[in-house]
Amino acid sequence: MAQFSLSNLLISISLAFFCFSNLCFCFKPKHFNLSTQAVHWSSAGATWYGSPDGAGSDGGACGYGNTVSQAPFSSLVTGIGPSLYKSGKECGACYKIKCTKHPLCSGKPVRVVITDFCPGGPCVSESAHFDLSGTAFGSMAVPGEEEKLRDAGVLQIRYARVACDYSRKTIVFHVDPGSNPDYFAVVIEFEEGDGDLAKVDLQQSSSQPDEWWEMNQSWGAVWQLNAGTELHPPFSIRLTSQYSGQTLVAKNVIPTGWQPGATYRSLNG
């Protein structure tokens, strides 16, 4: 009996220390992280837009702005049709893509991130369509043949939902410039693993431990809370994955004295 109690105690201690620094991962046992799932390939069409070596629209409907051309996105981004965009819920989701049917295709998979919406043409008529940045489209080519592949028109590709890999990045919260003591809006980037968001909640310093304010998706990766009353920082932000239901809490990530337009990170990088 003593041995059983000691085991329980050790498990409890392990769980207590599972939340570390300012970032706390809280898993639902019935769900699994995307990185543990088998890769399932499907077929889609692919086009490209923007400059040949650019990042598509250099911003896009998800609200990431010029960060799409910077690491870790590094211009390997895509606009996506309605079937996968899901009204912006899939902003930040990662896919591997590859082309094999064209002689200029390398056949090697490339990881891209959804940062934009493609509202018409083949993006609507096809069951799945990737409107890639010029950089991402060219990355599927045999080395040295990127320009020729971009001249090939619509490609048939294979795609698979995969985990995002931001292992060297902290989660970033860009506070919207229009935020004020009663209204808070934020762009969220670099969610490790599943990448997408189904739900975002905010907890202020005056809240009870289990009291959270549900934020609304304004558009793309922008989430807002119009509280109608003054909010009291610091704020903790809880993220829930669209794909797996996994939850993550960035504790006190928005500090006292936060500023509109400022950027805050989940851990000190």
Q: How confident is the model at residue 170 (pLDDT cuts 50, 70, 90)?
A: confident
Provide the pLDDT for residue 33.
Answer: 54
Whether pLDDT at 213 is above 60: yes
Distance (Å) of CA 163 to CA 11, 173, 239: 28, 20, 16
Distance CA 77, CA 74 (A): 8
Does pLDDT of 241 surpass 90? no
Q: Which of 162, 181, 216 is the last residue of a domain?
A: 162
Do 41 and 150 lie in a common domain?
A: yes
Of 104, 130, 162, at which residue does a domain stop? 162
Q: How confident is the model at residue 16 (pLDDT cuts 50, 70, 90)?
A: very low
- For 26-82, what is each residue's pLDDT tens digit? 333 222 355 555 678 999 999 999 999 999 887 789 988 888 998 889 999 999 999
- What's the mean pLDDT when you consider all of the chain? 83
**Is the per-residue pLDDT at 5 higher than 70?**
no
Residues 60 and 125 in one domain: yes
Confidence band of 238 (pLDDT split at 50, 70, 90): very high
Mean pLDDT along residues 20-31: 34
The pLDDT value recorded for residue 221 is 86
Q: What is the pTM of this model?
A: 0.77
| The token pair that represents 137 in the structure block | 């489209």
Is 4 a member of any domain?
no
Average pLDDT over residues 208-225: 91
CATH of the domain at 132: 2.40.40.10
What pLDDT sits at residue 57?
81
| Residue 76 domain boundaries | 37-162
> Looking at the domain assignment, is residue 137 inside a domain?
yes
Report residue 154's pLDDT band, with 50, 70 and 90 as the boundaries. very high
Instruction: Classify residue 143 by burial, with Cβ atoms within 10 Å: 0-12, 13-18, 19+.
Output: exposed
What domain count does the chain have? 2
Choosing from 141, 162, 183, the residue where a domain stops is 162
Residues 122 and 188 in one domain: no
d(CA 253, CA 255): 6
| Position 262 confidence tier, pLDDT thresholds 50, 70, 90 | very high
Domain presence at residue 248: yes
What average pLDDT does this structure show over 175-180? 95
* Nearest one of 105, 108, 168 to 142, comparing CA atoms: 105
Q: Are 146 and 216 in a shared domain?
A: no
Q: Which two tokens stand for residue 99?
A: 């082309």
Q: What is the 3-state secondary structure (H, E, C) of the chain?
A: CHHHHHHHHHHHHHHHCCCECCEEEECCCCCCCHHHCCCCCEEEEEEEECCCCCCCCCCCCCCCHHHHHCCCCCCCEEEECHHHHHHHCCCCCEEEEECCCCCCECCCCEEEEEEEECCCCHHHHCCCEEEEEHHHHHCCECCCCHHHHHCCCCEEEEEEEECECCCCCCCEEEECCCCECCEEEEEEECCCECCCCCEEEEECCCCCCCCCEECEEEECCEEEEECCCCCCCCEEEEEECCCCCCEEEEEEEECCCCCCCCEEECCCC
106 and 212 together in one domain: no
Distance CA 109, CA 130 (A): 14
**How many CB atoms sit inside 10 A of residue 6's CB?**
10
